[in-house]
Chain A
Amino acid sequence: GDSVTQMEGPVTLSEEAFLTINCTYTATGYPSLFWYVQYPGEGLQLLLKATKADDKGSNKGFEATYRKETTSFHLEKGSVQVSDSAVYFCALWGAQKLVFGQGTRLTINP
């Protein structure tokens, strides 16, 4: 079945550092891909999405490019802020349901 694998966390960075969180997927066909963010005590929020190969999703300085050759959708941000501290989930839409990775906890220190 469909699956999503994220880099293991937790990840700790200093403010203004460059961020990459790796995500790869296994699926039949070319599913839509997503990054969700979960702030402490809150539900998941959609951060960005890409619906076809080579699409780049972007929001709040975060970007991810749908790479079908490597079946990847890595999340990047050029300069992180303390307010970016959260748990990040990569996900795909397959067989009419969302399939999530295990999540990566990100902590940004001032």
Chain B
Amino acid sequence: NAGVMQNPRHLVRRRGQEARLRCSPMKGHSHVYWYRQLPEEGLKFMVYLQKENIIDESGMPKERFSAEFPKEGPSILRIQQVVRGDSAAYFCASSQQESYEQYFGPGTRLTVT
């Protein structure tokens, strides 16, 4: 049973480009959470989604960041016009219901040059 998949594992973007991070939840999981880990800091909650719905986006920056979890396919975290401060590790987690019982992916490490 495959775990949570994230791709790419490493992503390099120049300032001003767009970054798209993908997360495929575990089979049977319909809840997805995105977290960001800045260098030398802990993981910070960004957004919580269920299929086709954003439930809680209180941790998302107001501009340039968006997330979706369509009926079919992976969840996508999109960062437009990236800046150096967006360089971080982005983790996705999934669960069967709204719960602390979350299973984490290996993360995508975004580097903005």
Contacts and interface: CB of A to CB of B under 8 A. Distances in A.
Contacts of B41: 102
Chain B interface bracket (under 10, 10 to 19, 20 to 34, 35 or more):
20 to 34
A81 B41 CA distance: 26
Majority DSSP secondary structure for residues of A touching B: strand
Contacts of B42: 4, 6, 89, 100-103
Contact of A41 (B102, B104, B106): B106
B102 to A, nearest CB: 7
Interface residues of A, number: 22
A82 interface: no
Nearest to B105: A43
Contacts of B59: 97
A93 B100 contact: yes
Contacts of A41: 106
A26 to B, nearest CB: 14
Interface string B1-39: 001101000000000000000000000000001010000
A103 B37 CA distance: 10
Given A43-B3, A43-B93, 6 more contacts: A42-B106, A43-B106, A96-B48, A99-B45, A100-B35, A101-B42
12 contacts: A32-B100, A43-B4, A43-B103, A43-B106, A44-B91, A93-B100, A97-B48, A97-B56, A98-B102, A99-B45, A102-B41, A102-B42
Interface of A: 4, 6, 32, 34, 36, 41-46, 49, 89, 93, 96-103
